[in-house]
Amino acid sequence: MEPRYILGIILLCIQMIIIIPLAIELRNTRSSDGISVISETAWIIAGTGWSLYGYLTGSMTLIISGALATTGSVVVYALIFNDLKIKEKKKSLIFAIIFIIMMLLSTLIFKDLGLGIFLALFGIIQFIPQIITSIKSIINKDGQGVPLVGTALRSLYTLTWFIYAGAWFVWGISFKDIDIPLAVWGACGFLAFGLQLISGIVSRETQFQYKITR
């Protein structure tokens, strides 16, 4: 069995593990601070897109991965839904409608190539809201709602996808065979969740120091 194929299986296992601590931590904190609802909406769209991309390119790993990513974000969205303002709900709905239409059109017109280009660009757009939210949370030290274990796993997960898709020298494949859309998505995700993790750690350290000084 090829090492890259084994890594793909490991990634799927990580995905299944991610959902559990993420849901538990969010359920316990009952807070959506430091979590971008737009980013979670984007995860649902991206997960659906990667499943479709996997189907068009014949990758069962991506089909299952996309489905699991979508499931995880649906769980997160459901847990923070009651904390969301009506304005945030409307914004996430409009965001979803616009990008779902764009994804479907790019796929219908250009098939897997169009979908791949869409997912590469969306990989950048998808994580911008979370990056902005996390930077603000780091500055304000108010990311107490960030689930540390779940976020750390997501960070590791996206980094590993970058290695899976882009490390051609590790897998012995040609440079031209790099899955650019998946590599871009993995790199952007690692940055976004790395910042989210930092915001949660900074917030907890601030709270801890506050309790000590009281």
Is 133 a residue whose pLDDT tops 70?
yes
Q: How far apart are CA 64 and CA 61, in angstroms?
A: 5
Which pLDDT does position 144 carry in this prediction?
Answer: 75
Q: How far apart are CA 4 and CA 11, in angstroms?
A: 10
Determine the average pLDDT of the residues in 175-193: 90
Q: Express as a percent the part of the chain with pLDDT over 70.
A: 91
The residue among 106, 121, 129 whose CA lies nearest residue 52 is: 106
Mean pLDDT of the chain: 85
Query: In the structure, how many helices (H) and strands (E) does the chain have?
Result: 7, 0
Which pLDDT does position 32 carry in this prediction?
Answer: 60
Which pLDDT does position 168 carry in this prediction?
Answer: 82
Determine the average pLDDT of the residues in 172-182: 86
Which pLDDT does position 159 carry in this prediction?
Answer: 92
Question: Side-chain half-sphere of 57: how many Cα atoms within 13 Å?
Answer: 20
Is 62 a residue whose pLDDT tops 60?
yes
Six-digit token string for 141: 């030290």
Contact 26, 33 (CB under 8 A): no
Residue pointed to by tokens 């299986």: 9
